[in-house]
Structure 1
């Protein structure tokens, strides 16, 4: 499949991908490249925050000082600096403002300026891990840096060995992976060769949150997903129609992309045939939210992404949330008086949990506990954190809802599905979601290669975990089948209308 092959990236695509991935990176500044706040009085609790804080479940540490700080990433044997404040676009004041220290002064929680919800818990320590003091690794850009394939390999393997949470889903022995892959790594191994070795190592994980990006050589790789996504369905149809075994050149690839978009439009047209007479299909400026009043006085809301940048069109989380609030105000106003609402997240490949939480908060008039999450730490786990949905905005929709999901519904969109399972008067229809809930924990090797892994475990309020399996549905109905597209029908949407009619 397309996403299981190494691809060369254009500079534009690489920049866009790195911007998306690095939003989750932990920022810092070292003593040689200090990034001062330019305003030391921004943090009113700087004395409580000052010191060394460590999060073993994330392999990170931070040294907070009066006017700046340094983030580190570490494994059992290696330690590096995260010099990434400028890449995040988060200044000192905003980041430090997201630090919250408990009354005892021994636990710090940070949302990384609102990106991580409910936040990373860090414990106060007297000093950094010893190897961060004695043997800090050099990195690309340092005067004395030299590429070492063996060092990058050891850090890469150790990071997964210590933090990755889901080896058992594929019954993968990571020690065996080391024994096999290490045979191919030596002093002469190039960056291109090492990239290929890493790709082979993570392919069996079948985890689409596992990615490798080398911005120097322009390679990226994503571990294949476990389920049959819309893209895969369309690809199989495209190959069959054109009597091809695989896509072998750029022209065929572009033809497939055009076919994929055409088929998505075809599938959506089956839904939009139900728009009530005299009503319009409405959408936001970025065309990521689409809504309409359907026949039988049922509302329809298509949410194409949970990515705040894609929804709001800004690089600022705060500005995007303001835009999202305005969008939801308009949706609720336009659909006022509907007797039921269909929310379609079948095309939604995720984004940000805080977006999912906000939208859910516009669909209730009472707060509720939605799900729990924790992280792997060695052979144990961190304490459970409960995520509670708070009522959002001045107006809410509180009537019956049917949520349509598919095997392409991924990441933060799956979190939305998980949340809605805890909402009253809500049905889940379609296919169980993709099964990738964990946030991407993003790391950087000394060579500058970016890699990601899944270290967080999500569960519903009953304690059931869905990583690898996906959020379940109440009524199972296949989506995006060739028969439905050619027949201009949407069986999932039809079932939603039927069930809501008698809800």
Structure 2
């Protein structure tokens, strides 16, 4: 999966299985089959949203023995051997059986949850609870030859390659009806001692014709730098390649420049310099217009900086994203519409897609989609449900923006949200690569990945190869010179169209008009009387709405930083915000400490944008410090100093509050005679004359 910010490769988390060392290269268009470090095995990631199947229970030691033996998977081509010493994995095809190079400890990490059925003949395996289940059937023993040590010739590798696709690839009708026949025609070119480069080129040419983003071919460690495979570019990426060719520049360099323009367009045009950047620059959020929230998720993973030699786990990725979503959803409270922009989402974990989807699930649980693997005969169809979680969420109208760049888990997210009644898909069809990637090691050390699963919606529709269509068309990445800025302009127009109209008071009923005689005794009608008045009246002056909006915008923002008084009033009317002028003087009261400290921490602890623009001038973010009596930061170091000052102010504020608590308790605990007399005197003054007279009479009677 391509990193949308830097253009560097990051590990693809939607792999069904891979225990092979994989290249750091990424596929064209930003989807990598293996990803990860060459020295680190890419472990199993079983994906999917909340499964409707029964929740697995913990396996006791007694039942663990029931899982010992050899098991054949339904689909996927796995043979799993479970013994007290550990697990072993083999791959089985019609062309041969061979062991996986993973160690028992690595296989154990791939299949941590194993649930033997009571009949002793079935084993259910999962990587996570409440995720995709994989079904195995007991077999007496490993097939003959699975553990035999043998030399695999180029022809043997070709046959295993061909058998793997014939048995597991699910989309020949959509992507290549005659693909196997064309591959068979190439077999005559393969000789037992064929050069590895020539065999790799033959495989790559065959795979490229499928045009499947989830099909990948990776060479072994020794030849990874010289043997590379990339699928053909399509759609937006094809336009970028054409632009690179016209400019005479490398395509990857042009893609990185396009991504920078995409990012700057979000921050400056869509969010108007008031956005937030979080989760390793994978998430952007803020308000695109009054009461119109905006959330952009570039990848469904990669939220943590990758450390050399270690890939963050799914649990770590989810734990990093959750507080970001909590903060955004809390800030979106009061918004009347939300734009969820996944138009440039390059995929990732289905588990992360689920975490985002539940933030918009309101009411009863909704069935989102089904999934099943090719060749998994007898395995139950798995249903995935989106239901509400007790987390900050948004249940108003949501507009999900997609494009032909949206792929893999990004498409699963859109498919899940499409099942919710208040969700509208906007944009263009997605890439059309829903299936998880089944990653298979080949006997010669290479690795191939392919799409082996069918994803269908509740109407049993499969959108593989054709993409998930929008319900409201919107051209997101247009062709031509505007390719660098078309996304920002399209989202700007969408946000403006969603601004709620102000409720206007109903017009009052007009009073009855007296009929004024006109002419020789003939009364004038209401229409004639109105027309006669209009003919003699001066025309109403008109104003240019453009000039008015420009003038109003200039009045709202102070050129030196912050908002003007008119700007604060305007936001109060539009969004109900109670904005106050910044604290420019010394923060010598608890309220001033709290306000100024909170502002400095919120805006400069994790800056949502740069301090200076391309021309070296301070941005609106940097100028906002001046509105609070602070120096305008010129770089991130200056922003960090302001954030540190904000932290100290908040610490002083909390210390003040703590000191004030005991004093408040002491003053309220004792009711002195003086305090009681003072309260009675105040109540007496506030009472009406009649009440005072009544109280005087009662006291006289008692005395």
TM-score bracket for the superposition, by shorter chain length: 0.7 to 0.9
SS of 2:36's equivalent?
helix
Check the 8 A contact 2:70/2:80 in 1, yes or no: yes
- Counterpart residue number, 2:258: 263
* Structure with more contact order per residue of length (Cα contacts < 8 Å, sep ≥ 6): 1
User: Whole-Å Cα distance in 2 between the matches of residues 334 and 405 of structure 1?
Assistant: 24
Shift of 1:454: 0.7
User: Whole-Å Cα distance in 2 between the matches of residues 85 and 471 of structure 1?
Assistant: 39
The structure with more radius of gyration: 2
**Structure 2 unaligned runs (5+)?**
1-21, 27-31, 47-58, 502-703
- Counterpart residue number, 1:331: 328
- Counterpart residue number, 2:137: 124
- Counterpart residue number, 1:63: 81
Shift of 1:83: 2.8
User: Whole-Å Cα distance in 2 between the matches of residues 283 and 291 of structure 1?
Assistant: 7
Shift of 1:411: 0.4
1:217-236 deviation line (CA, Å, top 9, x unaligned): 112314336x413x322221
Structure 1 residues 369-378 or 489-498, which shifts more?
489-498
Shift of 1:310: 5.3
If the length of structure 1 is used for normalisation, what is the TM-score?
Answer: 0.81
Structure 1 residues 302-311 or 12-21, which shifts more?
12-21
Alignment of 1:196-211 (within 5 A): 196-211=201-216
Check the 8 A contact 1:358/1:392 in 2, yes or no: no
1:89-129 deviation line (CA, Å, top 9, x unaligned): 8573x555422344544443323357xx732422322324x
Alignment of 1:386-465 (within 5 A): 386-465=383-462
User: Whole-Å Cα distance in 2 between the matches of residues 204 and 213 of structure 1?
Assistant: 17
Check the 8 A contact 1:308/1:317 in 2, yes or no: no
- Counterpart residue number, 1:4: none
- Counterpart residue number, 1:375: 373
1:470 corresponds to which of 443, 451, 467 = 467
User: Whole-Å Cα distance in 1 between the matches of residues 442 and 176 of structure 2?
Assistant: 26
If the length of structure 2 is used for normalisation, what is the TM-score?
Answer: 0.59
Check 1:434–1:355 CA distance in 2 against 1; reply closer, same or farther (3 A cut). same
2:235 corresponds to which of 228, 239, 242 = 228
Q: Are residue 307 (structure 1) and residue 301 (structure 2) matched?
A: yes
Q: Are residue 108 (structure 1) and residue 114 (structure 2) matched?
A: no
SS of 1:221's equivalent?
coil
Check the 8 A contact 1:406/1:430 in 2, yes or no: yes
Check the 8 A contact 2:427/2:474 in 1, yes or no: yes
1:295 corresponds to which of 279, 289, 300 = 289
Check the 8 A contact 1:267/1:485 in 2, yes or no: no
Q: Are residue 76 (structure 1) and residue 94 (structure 2) matched?
A: yes
Shift of 1:150: 1.0
Check the 8 A contact 1:211/1:220 in 2, yes or no: no
1:23 corresponds to which of 28, 42, 58 = 42
1:98 corresponds to which of 113, 117, 123 = 113
User: Whole-Å Cα distance in 1 between the matches of residues 305 and 123 of structure 2?
Assistant: 31
User: Whole-Å Cα distance in 1 between the matches of residues 199 and 63 of structure 2?
Assistant: 45
Check 1:50–1:125 CA distance in 2 against 1; reply closer, same or farther (3 A cut). same
Check the 8 A contact 2:304/2:312 in 1, yes or no: no
- Counterpart residue number, 2:160: 155
1:41-91 deviation line (CA, Å, top 9, x unaligned): 9867412332322224101121112341111111123111123258xx857
Check the 8 A contact 2:303/2:320 in 1, yes or no: no
Check the 8 A contact 2:439/2:448 in 1, yes or no: yes
Query: Number of residue pairs matched?
Result: 452
User: Whole-Å Cα distance in 1 between the matches of residues 74 and 493 of structure 2?
Assistant: 47
**Structure 1 unaligned runs (5+)?**
1-10, 28-40, 139-143, 245-251
Check the 8 A contact 1:267/1:480 in 2, yes or no: no
Check 1:329–1:44 CA distance in 2 against 1; reply closer, same or farther (3 A cut). farther
Q: Are residue 480 (structure 1) and residue 477 (structure 2) matched?
A: yes
SS of 1:62's equivalent?
strand
SS of 1:80's equivalent?
strand
SS of 2:235's equivalent?
coil
User: Whole-Å Cα distance in 2 between the matches of residues 322 and 19 of structure 1?
Assistant: 20
User: Whole-Å Cα distance in 1 between the matches of residues 204 and 76 of structure 2?
Assistant: 22
Shift of 1:356: 0.6
User: Whole-Å Cα distance in 2 between the matches of residues 489 and 395 of structure 1?
Assistant: 28
Q: Are residue 135 (structure 1) and residue 145 (structure 2) matched?
A: yes
Check the 8 A contact 1:311/1:320 in 2, yes or no: no
User: Whole-Å Cα distance in 1 between the matches of residues 160 and 282 of structure 2?
Assistant: 39
Structure 1 residues 209-218 or 331-340, which shifts more?
331-340
User: Whole-Å Cα distance in 1 between the matches of residues 279 and 45 of structure 2?
Assistant: 31
User: Whole-Å Cα distance in 2 between the matches of residues 374 and 12 of structure 1?
Assistant: 29
Alignment of 1:182-197 (within 5 A): 182-197=187-202
Bigger strand share: 1
Check the 8 A contact 2:89/2:107 in 1, yes or no: no
Q: Which runs of 4+ in 1 moved over 6 A?
A: 486-489
User: Whole-Å Cα distance in 2 between the matches of residues 338 and 453 of structure 1?
Assistant: 42
Shift of 1:147: 4.3
